[in-house]
A and B are shown apart, each in its own frame.
Chain A
Amino acid sequence: MKKIFTLIKREYKEAVFKKSFIILTLLTPLLMIALGVLPSLLIMMETEESFTIHIIDESGLVAARIAEKLDSKLKTGEPKYIVREVKANASSIRDSLTAQKKLISEDKLDALLYVPAAIADTGKIEFYSQNVANLSLNREIKDAVNNIISTYRIHQSGLDPSLIAKLTKPVQMKTIKLTKEGKETESGFLQEYFSTFVFVLILYMSLILYGTSIMRGIIQEKSNRIIEILLSTANAFQLMAGKILGLGAVGLTQYLIWASVGIVLVLFGGKVLPQTGQFLSLDPVIFIYFVVYYILGYFLFSSLYAAIGAMTNSDQEAQNLSTPVVMVLVVPIIMLGFIVKNPDSALSVFLSLFPLFSPIIMFTRINITQPGFLEILSSIVILILTNLFLIWITSKIYRVGILMYGKRPSLAQVLKWISYK
């Protein structure tokens, strides 16, 4: 036990003081802060300038009323839109249109709205500006004209506009999530799934990242020829355990740093920036499940990667052999859309119990629906049993593999290794 601890200590020190670890650990919170702060910053930095629109109104219906419809205000309280009518009769209309367009190209005018005489019948207007990609602005102007014209049409047909407004009042839908215990929580799609996706991605990334670094570490120890010196002090199982636990501790350290940055951000960021932390709804129960599935998944995949590392002699060979493992990790990510839509289908339940997929898929289901405790428990038990079996097999492969140099062994040979005394 003391030896495993010494091995963990060495592994941990080496990994934590590596430049790449320090950079990744420090950059990610910066990225998190940036992601949290950026939306609010962007809103604060939104352009605060009034927008001048000239209107040429052949119909005579719109120009007089549009200013009161376009009543959005800037933060300063000034009106956002400055609307001026350009008078033109039928004969001069072409010239004034040309003149107004020229003003726009010379940056003297923001936009021009042209309302043809037949607007009430055709329902067509034209809007000229250097930038027509501002969707909210476009919609505001369109809605304003639409409102004026609709009201005019209703008037023409002899109906009361206020009555029409009452009759056509749109329905509003509020979404409320109902849990199995009958708890009601109001929540939107984004709030519901954002944290799930973040957690699943973290799970997926770290399983690959730390699994690969275990594999690399073993290959390095093999190619540095240090393995046999280590074997003169401890047995193969202790070496493997030291490596897996050491790097596991490194991973947990990283999460601890990130989680504390996240908690600080949620707790105190909100006071400074109202937008921060809105999407990071963090249920402590979910977090516990995250840790459980992370640890179980970590043992599963790190022992697979350890076996691959022991079987091979170069990173390149290992890359080829580890492709199936990566595939196994990618399957749940591909299935994620299906799981989210059908969290309680037979396939979803099966996948969430299958040990190679369960860390990611059962965790997703716990987030989205409420699988029975028995289901969760059996997925955990199956995972633990699979882990014990895998660790038993891989420690045997590892014991023989680390002393094998040269040609990559065939599968048949590896199976024979397991039977060695």
Chain B
Amino acid sequence: MAILEAHNVTKRFDQFIAVDSISFQMDSGNIYGLLGPNGAGKTTTIRMIMNILIPDSGTITLFDQPLTDTMKHQIGYLPEERGLYPKMKTLDLLIFFGEMHGLTHNSAKERALFWLERMEFSSALDKTIQEMSKGMQQKIQIISSLIHDPDLIILDEPFSGLDPVNINIIKDIILDLKKQNKTIMLSTHLMDTAEKLCDEVLLINNGKKILDGNLNEIRQSYGKNAIQLEYTGDASFLKNLDFVKHANDFGNYLEIELKENGTPNLLLKEAIKHIEINKMVAKQSSLNEIFIELVKGKDIK
């Protein structure tokens, strides 16, 4: 089921086109990566999903309905630029956000207490925000965007400014939400993080879509299938294999690039017959490499 659908969405600021006719679709229960370098148009896209900015053209539908402000209750949004009221007490602040998301005072309080306990924060109920460390404040921000139990969660650079311990905590929460069949949009410029977490990705650059789709399929169709081999014997058999695109023989070390129909398994089956294998590494291109290659290609065109 499509949770979110965008059709040819465009947003201009004066002459500058921040988002240029982007279309995509998000399905439920997935982690969806919105990827691209700084200034690619990620935050503008999210702000349009949040109905904070209104597209100049194109449409966005959420749960098959056009966006309205009341839908904000179904979305949990953690913006990149985020902060809290420094003088408010933790519990009061979370209740405030809960009420703003349409919860009653009592259920907001109940949910706030649940999350504080889960984050091992129960001692901080009466502390004001300014008394807490930066990492603790970040966690409160996450709670404030999840307090109303939204079905769609949009996290804009959730890891920025966090230490490794806190990065792990946030990562665990994201994976846990996925288990609860929540849909998560993860916007980041850190490709390797996205690569580890996301099921689907949307790559954008300069406001334009570069590609989108299932991460594994993207890897297979765009990534190089490279294999490194240390061996003893005669490697001339490689010339006869139709799934080998290119092989570089160093005598007892091989660098092999496979065609799309080639897999490491196929290569291995053949190699066992002819050579002694000492070490073999199958290496897929990283998302970052795919991205750089695609962006370069577009620039040349």
Chain A interfacial positions (CB closer than 8 Å to B): 2-3, 6-7, 10, 14, 224-236, 403, 405, 416, 420-421
Contacts and interface: CB of A to CB of B under 8 A. Distances in A.
A405 B81 contact: yes
Contacts of B13: 420
A177 to B, nearest CB: 52
A224 B83 contact: yes
Contact of A225 (B75, B82, B87, B102): B82
Given A228-B77, A229-B79, A403-B47, 11 more contacts: A10-B96, A14-B87, A224-B84, A225-B79, A225-B81, A228-B52, A229-B78, A232-B72, A234-B72, A236-B52, A403-B52
B68 to A, nearest CB: 10
A227 B81 CA distance: 9
A224 B85 contact: yes
A85 B273 CA distance: 147
Interface string B89-111: 00000001101111000000000
Contacts of A236: 52
A416 B141 CA distance: 33
A337 B263 CA distance: 93
B82 A226 contact: yes
A232 B75 contact: yes
Most chain B C-beta atoms within 10 Å of own C-beta, residue among A3, A14, A228: A228
Contacts of A224: 83-86
Contacts of B84: 224, 226, 229
Interface string B54-85: 11100000000000010010011111011111
Contact of B69 (A14, A235, A405, A421): A235
Contacts of B72: 232-234
Given A229-B141, A229-B145, A235 B51 contact: yes
B83 A229 contact: yes
Closest 4 CB pairs of A and B: A225-B83, A232-B77, A233-B100, A228-B79
B69 A226 contact: no
A265 to B, nearest CB: 34
A230 B83 contact: no
Nearest to B129: A224
A228 B54 contact: no
Nearest to A228: B79
A416 B72 CA distance: 27
A416 B85 CA distance: 31
SS of B interface (majority): loop
B205 interface: no
B54 A421 contact: yes
Contacts of A420: 13
Interface string B134-148: 000000010011000
Which one of A226, A229, A233 has the greatest number of beta carbons of chain B within 10 Å? Answer: A233
Contacts of A227: 81
16 contacts: A6-B99, A10-B96, A224-B84, A225-B83, A226-B85, A228-B79, A229-B78, A229-B84, A231-B50, A232-B52, A232-B72, A232-B145, A233-B100, A235-B51, A235-B52, A236-B52
Contacts of B69: 234-235
Contacts of B100: 3, 6-7, 230, 233-234
Nearest to B69: A235
Interface string B235-257: 00000000000000000000000
B79 A6 contact: no
Quick one: which of A10, A230, A236 has the most chain B CB within 10 A?
Answer: A10
Interface in B193-235: none
Nearest to B52: A231
Interface in B19-70: 47, 50-52, 54-56, 69
Contacts of B83: 224-226, 229
Contacts of A7: 100
A2 B144 CA distance: 18
A405 B144 CA distance: 23
B87 A228 contact: no
B287 to A, nearest CB: 27
A198 B82 CA distance: 44
Contacts of B79: 225, 228-229, 231-232
Contacts of A403: 47, 52
A227 to B, nearest CB: 8
Nearest to B51: A235
A407 to B, nearest CB: 14
Contacts of A416: 14
A227 B77 CA distance: 12
Nearest to A230: B100
B3 interface: no
A232 B50 contact: yes
B124 interface: no
B160 to A, nearest CB: 12
B175 interface: no
B88 interface: yes
A229 B54 contact: no
A227 B82 CA distance: 8
B44 to A, nearest CB: 10
B67 to A, nearest CB: 11
Given A14-B88, A421-B56, A233 B14 contact: no
A229 B144 contact: yes
Contacts of B144: 229
Contacts of A235: 51-52, 69
Contacts of B76: 232
Contacts of A226: 82-85
A233 B52 contact: no
Contacts of B75: 232
Nearest to B14: A416
Interface centre among B52, B54, B72, B102 (most CB of A within 10 A): B52
A218 to B, nearest CB: 13
Nearest to A226: B83
Nearest to A6: B99
